[in-house]
Each structure stands twice: as structure tokens, then as C-alpha cells.
Chain A
Amino acid sequence: MIEFHSVTKQFPDGTLAVDDFSLVLPSRKTTVFVGSSGCGKTTLLRMINRMIDPSSGSIEIDGIDIASGSAVALRRSIGYVMQNSGLLPHRRVIDNVATVPLLKGVNKADAHAQALELLDTVGLDRALAHRYPSQLSGGQQQRVGVARGLAVNPNILLMDEPFGAVDPIVRDDLQQELLRLQRDLDKTVVFVTHDIDEAFLLGDQVVILEKGAQIAQVGTPKEILANPASDFVATFIGADRGKRRLAVDSTIARSGDDVVLVDGAGYVAGVIDAPGGVLPGAGVGGTTNSRARSVSNKTDQAGDA
């Protein structure tokens, strides 16, 4: 469990990045900080492993103030995955993954054996172990970054827009991989993104932030979609533009028992079962057990809600 107590961060140039932020991040859940650029979400993340120290307030992990120990020991106990992988370019993949265990004094043979297992865990071929990072694709580099983050078997994994620089298809893969990993490994994950769809897909707890890391809304994806707390949240999640609300497109000829759904912007969102042209559960609201097939990842969560 990670707790922020009235944390404020003012940078030397006067920027107030985080203004009186308090929140509890539950153990073994994924908490996603989502917001626009400059809202302070990365600052929040980097304060957890003391890459940035708060100007005031405190942060506790399992009840212990993180400022009480050494920053280096803290960082070695927390997995960190960043955008653009941050791998050491002069070291082979296997050495990159084994970096922190080696720093902690694990012998080389054990560290390398463990690194190979971690490559399996993140879905990478062991043949890549002796390549250099620049010989890997962006998606593969991110996987190596995740493997390195897991190398010390941390309870906490910090992820700073880890999938921000890969193409959408690879990003989908990586997101699914992370969901699978999280089911298997059960870490406390703190994830930063500016992509609300990614936040809704990955987050157990989603924190929508405004400038100065002011909390606009905290909740599960379903709670936020069903009840946006403010106009800001509604705009941010796209509810006001009708992106989240689907409607039957009557201009498209029906084929069989499927009806085409479109979102507010007119994009074809998917189809839904409608035997005889009648939507099942119509009027009952939310209790439908029909199979909706979405063609857009953006509407998956809307379907859930």
C-alpha cells in the first residue's frame, strides 16, 4: 500500500507541479494516473522512488515513510519501467535485465539464469538475450524494460508511459501482456499515461488529474464512466462528445440478426445481437447478456459500463 499525505512539489523555477495531493494506492492493484501533459502525473510517480523529493508532505509504503531510508536502497526495491525503455545501450539484453541483481550482489550465473526466465515471463525469445538493445524493435525493448523492472521481484512496479512510444498494434500486445502479468504476479502497479483508454483498460483504480495533480476523480473505470464527477472528467473521457454512447445505425442494412452500432462521432463501433431486429433487454438497462462485438478498442469499456 502506498499512501500520499498532503504531498506538494514546487520546482526551483516556481512551477507548482503537485499541490497538496493525498491518496491511498491499494496493494496488489493497478492504479493509473491519467491526465494531460504537465498535470504532474509523472512527478507523482517519480516521488514514489525518490527520483524527486516532495517539497512538503510525506509518502509511506506499507506504513513506513520512504524518506527514512536510503534512496538507492528504495529504488532497488521498486521496479521502474520508463518510456523508451531506458536500457543501457552498451550492455546486452541479459546484462540489462540482470543489472540490479548484480548490483545487489547476486552472483553472475544466478542473475543470468534468472534473467533468462524473466525473458520468458515477458514473452521474449531467449535468443535475444545476447543482442544489444539497439538491435531490438521498440516493442521488444519495452518488454526488456519490464523484465528489468521485475528482476528484483519487487512488490511495487512503477510504469511511466511505458507504451507511449510504440505503434498502436504493439501497444495492444503489450497492454494485454501486462494484464496477463498482473494476473500472474499480483504486484502493486502504478501506471502513468495520458491515454484514457489505456487507463480504463489497465486500471483497477483510475485517478484523473488536472493541473497541479489535483484529483478530478478517483474510481474504477466503471464508476467514472457511469458518473463523471465534473465537466472536466466528462470531456476528458470523451463522454460529452458522445464517444462513449452507442446508438443503432439505422442507415445500414441489417444482415441477419445483427444490428450495427455507431458512436456519437459517427464511427462504426461494432455490432450487437438483435434477434428479429429487437435489441435484447431493451428498456431493462444494463442487464443484457447479449454478445456485443466491438470493432473499436475505444468502445470496449463503454460496452462494459
Chain B
Amino acid sequence: MNLFLDALNFLFDPANLTGTNSILSRLVDHLAYTGLSMAIALVIGLPLGLLVGHTGRGRNAVVAVSSAARALPTLGLIFLIILYTGLGVGPLIIVLVILAVPPLLAGAYSGLEAVNRQTIDAARAIGMTEWQILLKVEIPLAMPLIFGGIRSATLQVIATATIAGYVGLTGLGRFLIEGLALRDYKLALAGAILVIALALCVDAILALTGRLVVPHGVARGLARSTDKSDAPTPRLHGRVSSAPSNP
């Protein structure tokens, strides 16, 4: 418990809050790594996922590549890249992007795949262009899954950005690394608490954002399929009706 109290003391000591190597500056760095990586990953992952989902082409290739990317050990990969490029922000951003793209891709293409084909066919038949089908029908209906992908990618990136501390950068992970190196466990624990708190806060913000971007009819679960084709429609022979015959 002492350790925990020490960690809390460290966190709430105003002296640690501002200045170089302070909590605030490392938090800003951590968010900057996350933000930059997510921005790049979104630019790569979303359009690709939407393209695959809309056309249905290249799905197998995308699944194979993203499974492989998920299996890569981030820490090993970052050292490998540093061997080639030297230290810097670049290698960190590259590995975080590689980490973030697969969940974004999966959210986008599985979201579009889950949209009822009849709905899309009807949208085309009443005269929507392919872009309008994508923007006004497929993306709104797929939004829960697309946004789920964004949320899970963001959390993974926030958690993994702690490795920045290993490779000479800052971020909240720096407290962990320094704490372990100096055997100052309260510092390490404080770093861990900060990362966890940040992840929870960002997730809460994303959850609220999700409510705004998911269309009303989808969020309320009302957008389930209107397909009733599997309902039995018995055709009664000789059904008694009171309708008079045609004059």
C-alpha cells in the first residue's frame, strides 16, 4: 500500500506537474504520438477497408495481411526498424501505424459487408450513385463497426506508445522505464497509473463521440434488416372472403 500511496503522492505533487520531464509534458508527447499514428493509420486503413467492403474485392489479401500485421511483436519490430533508421520518432510512428491499421481495416470492411445486400440494391435501383450509396447508406449503417475499429485501434496505440520510453523518446512510458532503471518503483507505478487513466479517459470520450456519429436509427437498434422473406406466406386456396365478385 505504501508504494501505491507514494505513487499517488508523486502524481499529485504540483512540482511534478509542469516543466520539462513533467507529467504534463510527457502526457502531451504521449497524446502527440497517438494522434499522429492514428491520423496516418486512419488515412491508410479506412479508405482501404471501405474499398474492400464496398467492392467485395481483395478481401482475402486484406485479411491475410492484417492477421500477419497483428502477429508482429511491436517491441521487436521497433528495434529492427531502429537498426536501419537510427533513433527518432519515425520508427515509433511506423510500428504504431502497423498496430493500428488492422483493427481499422477489419471494422471498415466487416461493417460494410454486414449491410443488407437488398438495401444496397434498392438504393442503387432508385438512382443513387456509387458514392451516394457508400456515403449515405453503407457508411451510416456500418458506423457501429467502423467506429468500434477506431476505438479499439486508439486504445491499442495509447497502451503501446509506452514503448517510446525504451527508444529514447518521452511519453508516459518514460516514467515506467526510468522507474524500473532506477528501481524507483513508485515512479514506475505512477507511470502505469497514468497510462491506464489516459486510456480510460480517451475510451470514455470515444464512447460519447460514438453516440454522436452513429445515426439515430442505427444506434437504437431499429436499423435491423427489414427483410421478411423467410417469414412463411401461405397461399390459401379457396379462402373464403366476403368480397363481392367483379360486376
List B contacts of A172 (CB < 8 A): 241, 243
List A contacts of B235 (CB < 8 A): 168, 195
Name which of A54-62, A227-235, A264-272 contacts chain B.
Answer: A264-272
Name which of A7-15, A211-219, A288-296 contacts chain B.
Answer: A288-296
Give min CB distance, A250 to chain B, whole Å. Answer: 19
List A contacts of B132 (CB < 8 A): 103
Query: B65 contacts the other chain (Cβ, under 8 Å)?
Result: no
List B contacts of A83 (CB < 8 A): 229
Query: B208 contacts the other chain (Cβ, under 8 Å)?
Result: no
Among B124, B140, B229, B234, the residue within 8 A (CB) of A51 is B124
Chain B residues numbered 142-168 whose CB sits less than 8 Å from any CB in chain A: none
- Digitize A261-303: 1 where CB-to-B-CB distance is under 8 Å, 0 elsewhere: 0010101111000000000000000000000111111111001
- Digitize B216-247: 1 where CB-to-A-CB distance is under 8 Å, 0 elsewhere: 11101011111111010111111111011110
B137 and A82 within 8 A (CB): no
Given contacts A80-B122, A84-B118, A90-B217, 15 further A-B contacts (CB under 8 A): A51-B121, A86-B118, A86-B119, A86-B122, A87-B119, A89-B116, A89-B141, A89-B217, A132-B223, A164-B233, A168-B236, A294-B245, A296-B239, A297-B243, A304-B246
A298 and B226 within 8 A (CB): no
List B contacts of A263 (CB < 8 A): 238
Give min CB distance, B62 to chain A, whole Å. Answer: 24
Chain A residues numbered 125-178 whose CB sits less than 8 Å from any CB in chain B: 132-135, 138, 141, 148-149, 164-168, 172
Name B245's closest neighbour in chain A (CB-CB): A294
Give min CB distance, A222 to chain B, whole Å. Answer: 11
Give min CB distance, A203 to chain B, whole Å. Answer: 14
Query: B125 contacts the other chain (Cβ, under 8 Å)?
Result: yes
How many A-B residue pairs lie within 8 Å, measured between CB atoms?
135
Going nearest first, the 6 A-B pairs with the smallest beta carbon separation are A86-B122, A76-B127, A267-B238, A75-B127, A89-B223, A294-B245
List B contacts of A188 (CB < 8 A): none
**CA A196 – CA B94 in complex, angstroms?**
65
Query: B55 contacts the other chain (Cβ, under 8 Å)?
Result: no
**CA A49 – CA B126 in complex, angstroms?**
9
Query: B128 contacts the other chain (Cβ, under 8 Å)?
Result: yes
How many residues of B sit at the interface, in one of the four size bands? Answer: 35 or more
B125 and A86 within 8 A (CB): yes
Query: B215 contacts the other chain (Cβ, under 8 Å)?
Result: yes
**CA A158 – CA B40 in complex, angstroms?**
46
A88 and B246 within 8 A (CB): no
Query: B206 contacts the other chain (Cβ, under 8 Å)?
Result: no
Query: A72 contacts the other chain (Cβ, under 8 Å)?
Result: yes
**CA A107 – CA B228 in complex, angstroms?**
33
B217 and A92 within 8 A (CB): yes
Give min CB distance, B139 to chain A, whole Å. Answer: 10
A100 and B126 within 8 A (CB): yes
Name A292's closest neighbour in chain B (CB-CB): B245
Query: A43 contacts the other chain (Cβ, under 8 Å)?
Result: no
List A contacts of B243 (CB < 8 A): 172, 294, 297
Name B128's closest neighbour in chain A (CB-CB): A103
Among A73, A82, A265, A300, the residue within 8 A (CB) of B246 is A300
Query: B129 contacts the other chain (Cβ, under 8 Å)?
Result: yes
Query: A91 contacts the other chain (Cβ, under 8 Å)?
Result: yes
List B contacts of A294 (CB < 8 A): 243-245
* Given known A86-B119, A148-B126, contact A168–B226 (CB-CB < 8 A): no
**CA A300 – CA B236 in complex, angstroms?**
15
B238 and A138 within 8 A (CB): no
Give min CB distance, B202 to chain A, whole Å. Answer: 27
Query: A85 contacts the other chain (Cβ, under 8 Å)?
Result: yes
**CA A141 – CA B227 in complex, angstroms?**
11
* Given known A88-B119, A134-B223, contact A99–B124 (CB-CB < 8 A): no
